[in-house]
Amino acid sequence: MLKYKIAVASGKGGTGKTTVSVNLFYTLQKILNQKIQLVDCDVEEPNIHLFTKGILESTQDVIIKIPVIDKDKCVYCGDCAAACAYNAILFVKSISHIAVLEDLCHGCGACSYVCNQPDVIIEKNKKLGVVNSFVLPNGGELIEGKIEIGTALAVPVIGKTLKATDENSLRIIDAPPGTSCPVMETIKEADFIILVTEPTPFGLNDLKLMIGTIRKLGRKFGVVINRAGLGDGAIYEYLQNENIELLMEISFDKNLARIYSEGKIIVEEIPEMFEKYTLLFEKIKINLNEADSDC
Amino acid sequence: MKQIAIVSGKGGTGKTSVSSAFASLSTNKIIVDCDVDAADLFLTMQPTVLETFEYEGGKKALINPEICTNCGICEDLCRFDAIHLVDGQTTVSEFSCDGCRLCVIACPVQAIQMLENLDSRWYISETRFGPMVHAKLGIGEDNSGKLVTQIRDRARKMAKEKDLDLVLIDGPPGIGCPVISTLTGIDIALMVTEPTLSGLHDLNRLIKLAKGFKLKSFVLINKFDLNIAMSSQIEAHCESENIEVLAKIPFNRDFVDAMVNQQTVLEYSPNSELSNQFREIWKRIALEFK
C-alpha cells in the first residue's frame, strides 16, 4: 500500500494544476488497487468537483473563535486593542468606544487572554468555509476545502482540509496558485511536489519563484511542462542548468483544451495520455524510492 | 482620478496580457502590479527601479531555547497549531505561525520574540508607459493583502501628486485576501475569464465577491473560440447578473509571442485584429471615466 502525499502546484495560475491532479488520480485509480484520495486545497476557487462529479457524503464547517465585547462590563483599559496584532479592535479611550472589526480578526484569542475583567470578552464562532467529502463514481474520494465568499483567511481552511484526509491512503493534493502562505500550508508536508508550468516568460518567472519556495522547504520535486510548443525555449535551458527533472510534457493542442473546457477527463478520452500519466507516476515513484534509500 | 483593476477568479486567463495592452492604450496613469505572489507585469513593462522599499510584513515568533523552560503554555494557547515540541525543544513552525504574538504575551519567562521577515520588497519604477508601483513578496510569506494595500496607497498618492487620471491595476487570481485588498475602493473591475467549466465557476464566485463592493464590473472572455458553447453560457450568465461582456477575444498566439518579446500586444502587432479589438475595448471602458 502506497501512502505518498503528492502535491501539485505552480506559481502561475492556469497552467494546468487541476488537469494534472485529476488525470493522475484517474490513472492511479486504474493501475493501483488501493485507496486514493484527491484533495482540493485551492480553497478560493476549488474546481476538481466539476470534473469528478461525485456524491457529497459529508460537510464539515471550518470555524474560528472571534471576540464579542460586552460594552457594559468593559472598563475601557485598551489592553485587548494593544494585544491585537491585526488591528481588529478599534479602541478610542477618550470617548469610551470599542468595537471588533470582524473581517480583520484572525481568531488568535490574544484579546480574551489579556482581558483581566471577568466575562467582558466572550467568543463566538465565525464560519470561514467548509470541508466537503465526496465519494466518486470510480471508487475514489475527493476531499475539498472551500472558503466562504468574502473570507480573507484561506490558511485555516486548507489546514482543516488536509487534516480531514486519510493518512493511510495515497493522496494527490491540488494546491492554490501563487507562492505565499496558502501554498506553503498545502505543500509543506508533501513527499513530492509536481510543479506544472508553461514554456512562456510568465510561466518561467513564476516557476523560479516556486522552486525557491520548495528548496527552502527541502522537498523533492519535478516539473511538468504544459502547452509545450507555445512560447520560447528558455524554460528548457533553465531546467537543464538547474539539474531539475522534467517529468512530463503535454503539447499545446486545441483538442485537449476543448476536452478540459467541457470538464471531461483527458486520460479517459485519449489512451496515449493515460500512458503518459502512468509514466509520470513511475518517475515520481523512482524519486520517492531514492528518498527511502537515503534514510 | 479613476481606479481600474484587471482581475479573474481563475488563474491564467490572461490578466497580465490584458493589463499590458491597457498600459499601451491609456494615458496619464500609474500602473500597479497587485499580483505580489507571482508578479509578472514587470516582464512586459520592463520597469527601471527608482526606489526600493522594505516591506515589514509577516512577523513570526521565535523561541530562544536558552531561556525557554518547555512549560508548554504557548503550545496550548496557539490556535494556529504552530508550536510543537521538536527534539525536546518547544519550536515555532515558521510557515504555520500567523504572527499573533499571543505566545510572546503569555510566555512566563519572556523567551519568545517576534522576528521581522524582511524578504519582501516593493518598488517605485519608471516605464515607457509611465510610473509603476510593484512588489516582490518574500518566499512563502503571508500578509500579501497588506502588501497590496500598501502599494495601492502609494500609487494613489502618486497619482494625486502628479495629477494623473488613472490607476491601472493588474490584480491577483482567486477571491481571497489579496483580491479583497485589490477590489477595495476601486471604480471598475474588469474580470477576465475563459470558456471552461472552471472559468465559469470561478467567475461566478468572483462576481459574488464583487457585489460586496461599490464598483462597476465588466467581463472579458478570452480564448472564446476554444469552446463557443461555453462562451455563450458565460454570456448568458453575465446577462442574468446584469454585467456587460465587453468583448470576446479569440485564442491568439500573439499574446504569448508579445510576452516573449517583452512587449504588449499593441506593440507587437499594432495593426492586427487583436490590437483593434483592444482599442475598441479601451474606448468602451474610457466612457466610464467621464
What's the whole-number mean pLDDT along residues B261-290? 96
- List CB contacts (< 8 A) between A80 and chain B: none
Cβ atoms of A11 and A182 within 8 Å: the answer is no
What's the whole-number mean pLDDT along residues B19-29? 97
| pLDDT tens-digit map of A64-94 | 999 999 999 999 999 999 999 999 999 999 9
- A79: distance to nearest CA of chain B, Å? 11
- A137: distance to nearest CA of chain B, Å? 19
Strand partners, A89: A100
pLDDT at A180: 83
Cα separation, B269 vs A180, in Å, equals 35
Domains of chain A from N-terminus onward: 5-62+128-294 (3.40.50.300), 71-119 (3.30.70.20)
Residue B131, chain A, CB below 8 Å: the answer is no
Interface contact flag, A206 B38, Cβ < 8 Å: yes
Confidence at A181, pLDDT banded by 50, 70, 90:
confident
What's the whole-number mean pLDDT along residues A17-30? 97
Cα separation, B31 vs B290, in Å, equals 20
Largest Cα–Cα distance in chain A? 73
Confidence at A295, pLDDT banded by 50, 70, 90:
very low
pLDDT at A291: 54
Residue B49, chain A, CB below 8 Å: the answer is no
| Neighbouring residues of B57: CB distance < 8 A, sequence distance ≥ 6 | B117, B120, B137, B138, B141, B142, B143, B146, B147
B148: which 3 cell numbers?
Answer: 497590496
Averaged confidence pLDDT in chain B:
95
Cα separation, B149 vs B142, in Å, equals 13
Element (H, E) at B63: strand B59-63
Q: Helix A234-242 and helix A201-217: axis angle, to 10°?
A: 20
Helices of type H across A164-225: 181-187, 201-217
Q: What share of chain A is helix, strand, coil (3-state, %, to 5)?
A: 40, 30, 35
pLDDT at B119: 80
- List CB contacts (< 8 A) between A200 and chain B: 256, 259-260
CA B279-B282-B287 angle, 5° bins? 130
- Sign for the CA dihedral angle at B267, B271, B274, B280 comes to positive
Confidence at A179, pLDDT banded by 50, 70, 90:
confident
Q: How many CB pairs under 8 A join A and B?
A: 191
Encode B36-65: b = buried (16+ Cβ within 10 Å), e = exposed. Answer: bbbbbbbbbbebeeeeeeebebbbbbbbee
Q: Of A29-38, A118-127, B131-140, B266-275, which range is least confident?
A: B131-140
B19: which 3 cell numbers?
Answer: 493589463
Residue B43, chain A, CB below 8 Å: the answer is yes
| pLDDT tens-digit map of B106-155 | 999 999 999 987 788 999 999 999 999 999 988 767 768 889 999 999 99
Q: Of A96-100, A259-263, B21-25, which range is least confident?
A: A259-263
Averaged confidence pLDDT in chain A:
94
| pLDDT tens-digit map of B180-238 | 999 999 999 999 999 999 999 999 999 999 999 999 999 999 999 999 999 999 999 99
pLDDT at A59: 98
Predicted structure pTM score: 0.93
Q: Minimal Cα distance from B100: which residue of A?
A: A85
A161: which 3 cell numbers?
Answer: 482540509
Partner B, chain A 201-220, Cβ-Cβ below 8 Å: 201-202, 205-206, 209, 212-213, 216-217
pLDDT at B172: 95
Domains of chain B from N-terminus onward: 2-56+119-287 (3.40.50.300), 60-116 (3.30.70.20)
User: What ipTM was estimated for this complex?
Assistant: 0.91
Q: Minimal Cα distance from A211: which residue of B?
A: B139
pLDDT at A213: 86
Residue B105, chain A, CB below 8 Å: the answer is yes
Partner B, chain A 63-82, Cβ-Cβ below 8 Å: 64-65
Which residue of A108, A180, A206 is in closest CB contact with B79?
Answer: A108
Q: What are phi and psi of A41, to 5 degrees?
A: -100, 5
- List CB contacts (< 8 A) between A185 and chain B: 95-96
Cβ atoms of A164 and A58 within 8 Å: the answer is no
Q: Would you call A274 helix, strand, or coil by DSSP?
A: helix
pLDDT at B120: 87
Does the pLDDT at position A293 exceed 60? no
pLDDT at A294: 43
pLDDT at B239: 97
| pLDDT tens-digit map of A148-169 | 999 989 999 999 999 999 999 9
Interface contact flag, B43 A202, Cβ < 8 Å: yes
| pLDDT tens-digit map of A166-177 | 999 999 999 999
Cβ atoms of A53 and A95 within 8 Å: the answer is no
Ordered strands of the B130-136 beta sheet = B48-54, B121-127, B130-136, B29-33, B166-173, B2-8, B188-193, B216-222, B244-249
- B174: distance to nearest CA of chain A, Å? 6
Residue B73, chain A, CB below 8 Å: the answer is no
Higher pLDDT, B139 or B279: B279
Cα separation, A253 vs A245, in Å, equals 23
